[in-house]
Structure 1
Amino acid sequence: MIYINGENLALQQMIDVVRGFEKVALDQEGIEKVKASRKLVEELIERGEVVYGITTGFGKLADVMIPQEKVEELQRNLILSHACGVGDPLPKEVVRAMMLLRANALVKGYSGIRLETLQLLVDMLNADVVPVVYSQGSVGASGDLVPLAHMVLVMLGYGEAYYQGERMPGDKALIKAGLKPITLGAKEGLALINGTQCMTALGALGVYDSLNLAKTADICAALTMEALQGIPDAYDERIQQLRPHPGQLKAARNIRAILNGSGLVYRKERDRVQDAYTLRCTPQVHGASRDAINYVAEVVVREINSATDNPLIFPEDGIVFSGGNFHGQPIALAMDFLGIALAELANISERRIERLVNSNLSGLPPFLIADSGINSGYMIAQYTAASLVSENKVLSHPASVDSIPTSANQEDHVSMGTIAARKMYNILTNAENVLAVELLTAAQALEFRDKDKLASGTKAVYDLIRSSIPALTHDRLIAPEIHKMQEKIHSGEIIQAVEQVVGLLL
């Protein structure tokens, strides 16, 4: 059981809930804060005070006063009118992350929501009632209004949800899970949808997988180094210490650990003085991406423990403030940065693939197949990697530099953070597939080397690959093998195989 209080939810805890289906409960101190902020909301309504989103309309309609008897209708209409999403549904794990992160923000006690409403969101998460949330429609301010509105629809008995592997109407999903829809009270609709939880859910899952991808990239580089009989001098600790960027230091240390004991790279006879940049500069390139990923991780962890709606309720002071914590700019910039960092891991990987399959550069058979000509070998696998890398270059164009006015120019600067996060998510998958091709081609290149001279770390990777994918002796269908390798990368199986031999990678 993971208790949430809005203050210290960790990235690993989020993964345990979203992917590991760990149960969630509200922290008792958080519960008391939720009750206190709700009490102030009710007092404001009783006094007839003018407070945005509680006794007024929304956005450009903030000056429209709402009579007390219309407050529930206002909140219901807010959700129905804002559920304008289009495109493909988001992956279920992203929606589960949205639910967790929204609950974590609400339990901080600054949103004015009723405890029973918040509890329903937690109960849905624990029962794995996952709303169908469409991926397009958010401009990233005032938060992720459109996707969060689709999440809340199911709480009201509308919309659609996945339950026990089946897509069905929202009210049916609630009934099957033993839950009941609610009627929203004052401020509650706004409290539920006025936040950054869609872009942050994508970002949190993406940065977690990116941290693992950086380690996998080091493994790929080490395997390719042995396949090409590279020169490991460039990874010497003394070189890195003269330019001590943390990521560079870690990447070099990882590669040295994986290559420790290799008879293919640590050898006396050499036919060249130094390697091409894609081998020699791996610590610098991988390291820069690592540092970017770690920066983004800090931003994301701050965001998942932030209150991001408007207005915010301060019961201890008896006051309500309208502000701009819903604005997604911090996440938007971070997601663009993360996308670029991931694209670079794929970029350098594709260039290593080219060196593997190009006989003029590798000294190995063309396209890594003995009987080339009648066989194309891994020729077209490199095409696939090149295609993905090129697509990533387009996706890496920053979304955060764009803005377009909404709500009749009341909301005249928006972040496009959710677009940035969605692009990053696609770049991540593309990068995983590029690294999958590198693992396949590097393992195939080793068929033409003395495998008895492999380091223990690279041998663990080679053995894992060969446990399900045989060496390429003649042309066969390669796509399923790329998919299989991508799954091993995404699941962390590649990293686990190496760490069992060399210890934990940094």
Structure 2
Amino acid sequence: MSSVLVLDGRSLTVQDVYTVAYGGRPIQIAEEAMARVRASRELIFELADQDVPVYGLNRGVGWNKDKVIDKEFFERFNRNLILSHSTGVGAEAAEEEVRAVMLVRLNSLLLGCTGVQPAIVERYMEFLNLGIHPVLPLKGSVGAADITTLSHIGLAFIGEGEVKVNGERFTTGSAMDKEGLKPLILGPKDGLAIVSSNALSAGTGALALHACEELLELADIVYALSLEALRGNVSPLDEAVHLVRPYQGQLKSVAHVRDILEQSDLWESNQADSLQDPLSFRGGCQIHGAAYDAFHYTKEQLQIHLNSSDDNPCVLLEEKRILSCANFESVSWTLGFEMLGSALHHVSKNACYRTIKLGTPSFTGLSRFLTADEDKSIGYCTVQKTITALDAEIRHLSNPASADYFSLAGDIEDHAANSPYVVAKTRDIIDRLYYIIGIEALHAVQAIDLRNGLKLGRGTKAAYESIRSVVPFLAEDRNLSIDIEQTYQLFKSGKLLAKVRDSSVSLVN
């Protein structure tokens, strides 16, 4: 079993989110964090007793901020808030996604800036550890807190709606009965605490960044494979060239590619006929480097969010105050995802150009479309349409969407960032890129086989062997969709990545 993750509200990482979401990692709550939650709750009751006007506590929410909520209506108001805000539509989140969302919200509650009752905090932990996953629609939030979707988690907490357990759908009541749980009775500010955060976009965003980090590492590996296949010029990989232009992402990419190509006979050839390769080969590390830089910026911004409060109003425990604010504004890290999508499109376009050139004899000196026999087979001809179609989708998905918002709720809510959609389209870009670099890899290993007898780098050799373990040499035409899917699944599984990483460790040892 995975080690227990102790949450304190201040140290959650993207990797932690992934291990809880996909690895079922159990969680605990640090006692000092629960103490903050309890103290914050006590302050809420003090304010309620003093009848201090507080948004979402004794006053309504949104356009109804001027409506007074009497103490005797606290439970009904908060229940109604959950029910009325349950307006999400469309595809349901996978159980792993729901886990990421609940974990992110739980961690932010532990800062004590919400005033939520401790039982709600414990319910997030109970659902995560027991594997109870509320049915969560993914569409409907404009990203100014994901209120329309997170409310569906609130439904489950009060015993309404449905949940999934190990892929099976249950009424919430039956699932909770099985585990001895009772529906929660909501009190002042509880409804707002459940619905008013960016946990949907931030949780799925953390999963997107985990996938993106692995994708960029794979892109470097496949680029190195393509250099082997082309018999490319390695002078653009000279460390000195990059040190005079020291962008961190660029340096990271070139160090990785050089490591993968260590022991390759590319370093020994004079490449007299290839003084300058096409830019898709020559500038691979610069382009991948830009994507690494965008990734690291976005990860840094999101991890700040994961360990901070996005509550409105915000409880300032030490000062015994509660203030209206706009800490649910997600534009800082949402813009990071927009930038990352654009950077990944450059990675995609570059991979497509390299792939097309690997099928062109004037660049490779090999057969047209890398056929084993040009008189008897067609080879990788039509797959060029597949990658360029996918790239066209990526191009449109990379268009910005964070500025497309309306003024809502009586012109009170006149800004939003569409964060869930921005994250979703970034995830779609990443998924398509797995296919594209997989197709590039198929071309690269085919060209390597046609050349016969190459001495590959320690990393490219490991990658070549991993691909050939699932897709054989294209000796004659066959259904290439099967080969493409096999490579995609290999890349997504992390097995190729692990084998290449292990080859580096073996070399050191």
Same fold per TM (> 0.5)?
yes
- Contact 1:129–1:177 (CA<8 Å) still a contact in 2? no
Give me the whole-angstrom Cα distance separating, in 2, the residues matched to 1:287 and 1:185.
50
Give me the whole-angstrom Cα distance separating, in 2, the residues matched to 1:373 and 1:37.
77
1:337 to 339, 363, 368: 339
Instruction: Give runs of aligned pairs for residues 17-28 of structure 1, distance below 5 A.
Output: 17-28=20-31
2:210 to 208, 211, 223: 208
- Contact 2:314–2:324 (CA<8 Å) still a contact in 1? yes
Deviations 1:397-439 (A, max 9, x none): 1111222111121101111111111111111101111111111
Aligned to 1:109: 112
Give me the whole-angstrom Cα distance separating, in 2, the residues matched to 1:259 and 1:373.
34
Q: CA deviation at 1:366?
A: 1.7
Instruction: Give runs of aligned pairs for residues 279-428 of structure 1, distance below 5 A.
Output: 279-372=281-374, 374-428=376-430
One-letter code aligned to 2:9: G
Deviations 1:263-321 (A, max 9, x none): 24531353231101011011111111111101111011111001101111123222110
- Contact 1:232–1:266 (CA<8 Å) still a contact in 2? no
Identity %: 35
Q: Secondary structure at the match of 1:162?
A: strand
Q: CA deviation at 1:100?
A: 0.2
Deviations 1:355-382 (A, max 9, x none): 1122333222122222346533222222
Give me the whole-angstrom Cα distance separating, in 2, the residues matched to 1:451 and 1:220.
19
Q: Secondary structure at the match of 1:379?
A: coil
Change (3 A) 1:428 1:244: same
- Contact 1:101–1:201 (CA<8 Å) still a contact in 2? yes
Give me the whole-angstrom Cα distance separating, in 1, the residues matched to 2:88 and 2:383.
36
Give me the whole-angstrom Cα distance separating, in 2, the residues matched to 1:310 and 1:252.
45
Q: Is 1:123 matched with 2:110?
A: no
Give me the whole-angstrom Cα distance separating, in 2, the residues matched to 1:382 and 1:130.
41
Q: Secondary structure at the match of 2:382?
A: helix
Change (3 A) 1:366 1:312: same
Aligned to 2:226: 224
- Contact 1:200–1:331 (CA<8 Å) still a contact in 2? no
Q: Is 1:97 matched with 2:100?
A: yes
CA RMSD of aligned residues (A): 1.6
Task: Give the TM-score, by structure 2 length.
Answer: 0.96
One-letter code aligned to 2:93: L
Give me the whole-angstrom Cα distance separating, in 1, the residues matched to 2:468 and 2:35.
56
Give me the whole-angstrom Cα distance separating, in 2, the residues matched to 1:332 and 1:452.
45
Task: Give the TM-score, by structure 1 length.
Answer: 0.96
Aligned to 2:489: 487
Aligned to 1:461: 463
2:255 to 235, 239, 253: 253
Give me the whole-angstrom Cα distance separating, in 1, the residues matched to 2:400 and 2:310.
23
Q: Is 1:77 matched with 2:80?
A: yes
1:497 to 496, 499, 509: 499
**Structure 1 unaligned runs (5+)?**
none
Aligned to 1:51: 54
Give me the whole-angstrom Cα distance separating, in 1, the residues matched to 2:374 and 2:170.
52
Q: Secondary structure at the match of 1:88?
A: strand
Q: How many residues align?
A: 504
Aligned to 2:63: 60
One-letter code aligned to 1:254: H
Q: CA deviation at 1:338?
A: 1.6
Q: Secondary structure at the match of 2:208?
A: helix
- Contact 1:41–1:112 (CA<8 Å) still a contact in 2? yes
Q: CA deviation at 1:504?
A: 10
Change (3 A) 1:171 1:480: farther
Aligned to 1:133: 136
- Structure 1 stretches of 4+ with a deviation exceeding 6 A read none
Deviations 1:192-237 (A, max 9, x none): 1111111111211111211111111110000000001001011100
- Contact 1:229–1:265 (CA<8 Å) still a contact in 2? no
**Structure 2 unaligned runs (5+)?**
none
